[in-house]
Structure 1
Amino acid sequence: MTRPVHSPSPAQVAAQVPAMVLAAGRGERMRPLTDTTPKPLLPVQGVPLLEWHLRALAKAGVPRAVINTAWLGEQIGERFGSQFALQRNEYAGGVLSISYSHEGADFGHALETAGGIARALPQLGPVFWLAAGDVFAPDFVFDADAAQRFAASTALAHLWLVPNPAHNPRGDFGLSDAGLALNLPADSAAPRYTYSTLALLRAELFEPLWCDVPAGNPSGMSAALVSLLRRAMDAGRVTASLYTGRWTDVGTPERLAQLNR
């Protein structure tokens, strides 16, 4: 007799939610610093930018992370290898297993955010965390309860929004009282917030209804994530929270210097 197949519960899904950390960009605005060092390896307070996220993921007990690379990507693989473990004097949430999606080696260039995620999707699961390796957010917690709530919802994405920094005064998306991210029209007077690049995503967001990139992105198409998110927002399938912890998009040498002062 064939046994019934049971879908995993939201709690079981949340316990195994991996992460994707974006680290493929060239960092043109950070030149000459990025001429010889990939942007995610630039140090903030003596620690590579990317490592701040790896520490937070390991502390939260996230089991594994996929890092995409392109510009000088071999340096990132050499720096972090196949696993990341916290030091003995830090809270031991577990060992983070690391794998890579080498866009530069495979296609000669970075695939942008959605293209890179689509390429790495076979290494991820039905739900996964997303973080950008050039963003400093040391207070952010990759909370398993948040992952469980997201897994139990019908949302395709949950975004963490931040108050608008000086370099993005108009913001990106609105936020409703019900916790929906809003794709506001250009002439809307409603408040907007900046997308922090921290998110929970569902693999379904990269299926044909929302995404034009074929599964696994075998030809190396470049595509932006924002267009997918806006389509899903218009369908009411993106939720959001306001994050007020420390957050910096380390996009210029001046911002990096300010963090290190």
Structure 2
Amino acid sequence: MKAMILAAGKGERMRPLTLHTPKPLVRAAGTPLIEFHLRALARAGFQDLVINHAWLGQQIEDHLGSGERFGLSIRYSPEGEPLETGGGIFRALPLLGDEPFLLVNGDVWTDYDFGHLCRPLDGLAHLVLVDNPEHHPRGDFQLVDGRVSEAREGEPSLTYSGIAVLHPRLFEDCQPGAFKLAPLLRQAMAAGQVSGEHFRGRWVDVGTHERLADVERLLQAEV
């Protein structure tokens, strides 16, 4: 299975760190965020990786290179302008092939074992969901009997972790340009084509300076 890391965001809420450094290269306890994913992917047995980028993206290519030092083969999907999540994936599909692929947001930190996702895909997507964090208390979706659906008012919900397996067929009616992934997932959910799992391990959406500090505290506790 191939993997893709989404790394095209500008990280505006993390300025001034991201004024001259792309968000995936912002460091937590001395290590660029994206490197935690690369090492975890290699440990899980992944070899082929695609990374999209836009803001200061050449820095990402210069830092990671071919991926050989991580035990990976990295190919890049540069975007002249940000294409949002769905558009960025659609642009990279020629590099990902015709089989399901792992997708992970470059701005999350987690100890999730990506090896759990190396199994046949039941439908068009499989989402890893987590408990709702303080900054997103209403959550995104419901998980019932292994299937994911739209969250309903007043019923228990979970948050999409930014980790998924997607089938290229999810994008078969799409056109080049900027568009979001969420509407495609909701359409597939309505057709019963999205499975999911509840991950209860460590996970941080590193969208602010405060949450970056949370990651550093978790890493320091390991020492």
Quickly name the TM-score band, shorter chain normalised.
over 0.9
What's 1:168 paired with?
136
Matched, 1:36 2:12: no
Name the SS of the counterpart of 1:85 in structure 2: helix
**CA distances 1:5-57 after superposition (whole Å, capped 9, x unpaired):** xxxxxxxxxxxx10010000011111111001000101112111001100011
Match of 1:120 in 2: 92
Q: Which residue of 1 aligns with 2:211?
A: 255
Q: Deviations over 1:147-191 (max 9, x none)?
A: 3232xx3x1000000000000000000011x20001134xx3211
Contact 2:139 2:151 in 1 (8 A): no
Unmatched runs of 5 consecutive residues or more in structure 1: 1-16, 87-94
**Corresponding residue SS for 2:77:** strand
Q: Is the 8 A contact 2:8 2:82 kept in 1?
A: yes
Superimposed CA distance per residue, residues 105-142 of structure 1 (whole angstroms, 9 cap, x where no aligned partner): xxxx11000000000000002210000111001x2111
The answer (yes or no) to whether the contact 1:136–1:249 under 8 Å persists in 2 is yes
Aligned counterparts, 1:211-230, within 5 A: 213-214=174-175, 217=176, 221-230=177-186
Where 1:222 maps in the other structure, the secondary structure is coil
More strand by share: 2
CA distance in 2, matches of 1:246, 1:203: 29
- 1:204 aligned residue: 169
1 CA distance for matches of 2:30 and 2:104? 20
**How is 1:70-81 mapped onto 2 (pairs within 5 angstroms)?**
70-81=54-65
Alignment correspondent of 2:79: 103
1:179 to 146, 150, 154: 146
Equivalent residues of 1:58, 1:84 under 8 A apart: no
Distance 2:216 2:189 in 1: 37
SS in 1 for 2:118: helix
The whole-number CA distance in structure 2 between the counterparts of 1:242 and 1:67 is 26
The one-letter amino acid paired with 2:117 is: A
- Taking the aligned partners of 2:198 and 2:28, their CA distance within structure 1 comes to 24
Q: Distance in 2 between matches of 1:84 and 1:128?
A: 20
TM-score by length of 1: 0.80
Kindly indicate whether the alpha-carbon contact (under 8 Å) linking 1:131 and 1:197 is maintained by their aligned counterparts in 2: yes
Q: Does 1:130 align with 2:103?
A: yes
Between the aligned residues of both structures, percent identity stands at 53
2:34 is the counterpart of 1:61:
no
Counterpart of 1:129, as a letter, is L
User: CA separation in 1, counterparts of 2:147 and 2:38?
Assistant: 28
CA distance in 1, matches of 2:133, 2:151: 19
- Aligned-partner Cα distance in 1 for 2:60–2:105: 14
**Structure 1 partner of 2:191:** 235
| 3-state DSSP of counterpart to 1:35 | coil
Runs (4+) off by over 4 Å: none
Give the C-alpha shift of residue 257 in structure 1.
2.1
Task: Answer whether contact 1:20 1:131 (CA < 8 A) is retained.
Answer: yes
Structural RMSD (CA): 1.2
Q: Hey, what's the Cα distance between the residues in 1 that align with 2:9 and 2:117? A: 28
Please tell me the residue identity of whatever aligns with 2:120.
R
